[in-house]
Amino acid sequence: MSSATMPTAINRTFSIAPMLDWTDRHYRYFARLMSSELLLYTEMVTTGAIIHGKGDYLAYNQEEHPLALQLGGSNPEDLAKCAKLAAERGYDEVNLNVGCPSDRVQNGRFGACLMAEPDLVAQCVAAMNEVVDIPVTVKTRIGIDEQDSYEFLTEFVDKVSAAGCDTFIIHARKAWLQGLSPKENREIPELDYDRVYRLKQDYPQLSISINGGVKTLEECGEHLKQLDGVMVGREAYQNPYLLAQVDQQLCGLDKPVLSRDAVLENMIPYIEKHLVSGGRLNHITRHMTGLYQGEAGSRAWRRYLSENAHKPGAGIAVVHEARASMELK
């Protein structure tokens, strides 16, 4: 096997949730600088985009490993084709999205609505497992609409695990397929962590990670007493410096914690390379506006970047100026 196809060992203790438009390869590079242990997920990529699209939807930086590709789709053959491509490109895991409630996604018959079709999800998982050696995992919800009993969830898990999926990431909130926007459905209805704990107790042989509403590493520590992993979405994006202590606090690694300035400094060569290749500054810096959250001057940092980084020709000086603007406060 070449190094590109040798999967990196996966530690599921802490992962960053797949988030469309947010967890692109620039954000993921930035996140990886702060933790060698966390597991990264790509934004959801549909099988249609991969198979018929013109762009390279599977591109990533080698530094991102361990990295999971999240797929959106429900056609077993297409999913198998995409999973195989992902494995060939060196992804460490393929994850199926059975959690997104968006209308657009439902029309394509994938996302959370698939929870109502456990046999189809099982076929999808089996088809992917047949063609790859990397783990095939599922991210789902605790229920959908009125189908929110514990038995509904266990029937889903029974069928999908029998098809070869031994790792589930459960967003501890049911999906409402009508009447709520995906954004609203990330706050309503309320979270039910106990249901995910119960699932782990009943399925000790499966790896179960919890997702939804987690904001601190202390909360992660509490969940980890009961579960195999915690997946964090919005907080990991809006307050990314949280990630700087994942390795020490959650994974037991004995290593120094990088300062915020050190993280910034480590991003500079990456940004410069991107600029030299014709990329725009704000494609990267838009993911970094939360770096100084909670620090004096963080608003100045954020404002300077959002007012200047998108301008044509904006270069690395804008980043240094944004940092300097914090001191003027």
Ligand X SMILES: Cc1cc2nc3c(=O)[nH]c(=O)nc-3n(C[C@H](O)[C@H](O)[C@H](O)COP(=O)(O)O)c2cc1C
Q: Which residues are catalytic?
A: 100
40 interacts with ligand X by CB under 6 A = no
Tokens of 56: 């390279």
283 interacts with ligand X by CB under 6 A = no
Beta strands, E only, the chain: 14-16, 39-46, 67-72, 93-98, 136-141, 167-171, 207-211, 229-232
100 interacts with ligand X by CB under 6 A = yes
232 interacts with ligand X by CB under 6 A = yes
Question: Which of 180, 97, 189, 186 has the alpha carbon at shortest distance from 138?
Answer: 97
DSSP single-letter state for residue 138: E
> Cβ closer to ligand X: 81 or 139?
139
Binding mask 120-159 for ligand X (x = CB under 6 A): -------------------x--------------------
Least Cβ distance, residue 322 to ligand X (angstroms): 23
Among 24, 37, 43, 78, binds ligand X (CB under 6 A): 43
Residue 304 phi/psi, 5-degree rounding, is -60, -45
Binding-site residues for FMN, in ranges, read 18-20, 70, 139, 171, 211-213, 233-234
Contacts of 51 (CB under 8 A, 6+ apart): 78, 81, 82
Evaluate whether 117 touches 91 at the Cβ level (below 8 Å): no
> Cβ closer to ligand X: 184 or 261?
184
Instruction: Round to whole Å and give the CA distance between 299 and 274.
Output: 25
Instruction: Round to whole Å and give the CA distance between 185 and 269.
Output: 38
Evaluate whether 211 touches 172 at the Cβ level (below 8 Å): yes
Least Cβ distance, residue 78 to ligand X (angstroms): 17
DSSP single-letter state for residue 328: T
227 interacts with ligand X by CB under 6 A = no
Least Cβ distance, residue 210 to ligand X (angstroms): 10
Residues 61-90 that bind ligand X (CB under 6 A): 70
Least Cβ distance, residue 296 to ligand X (angstroms): 27
Among 7, 11, 15, 18, binds ligand X (CB under 6 A): 18
Instruction: Round to whole Å and give the CA distance between 313 and 212.
Output: 39
234 interacts with ligand X by CB under 6 A = yes
Binding-site residues, in ranges, read 18-20, 70, 139, 171, 211-213, 233-234
User: Distance between alpha carbon 314 and the CA centroid of its chain, in Å?
Assistant: 29
Residues 305-324 that bind ligand X (CB under 6 A): none
> Cβ closer to ligand X: 71 or 281?
71
Q: Which residues bind ligand X (CB under 6 A)?
A: 17-20, 22, 43-44, 70, 97, 99-100, 139, 171, 186, 211-214, 232-235
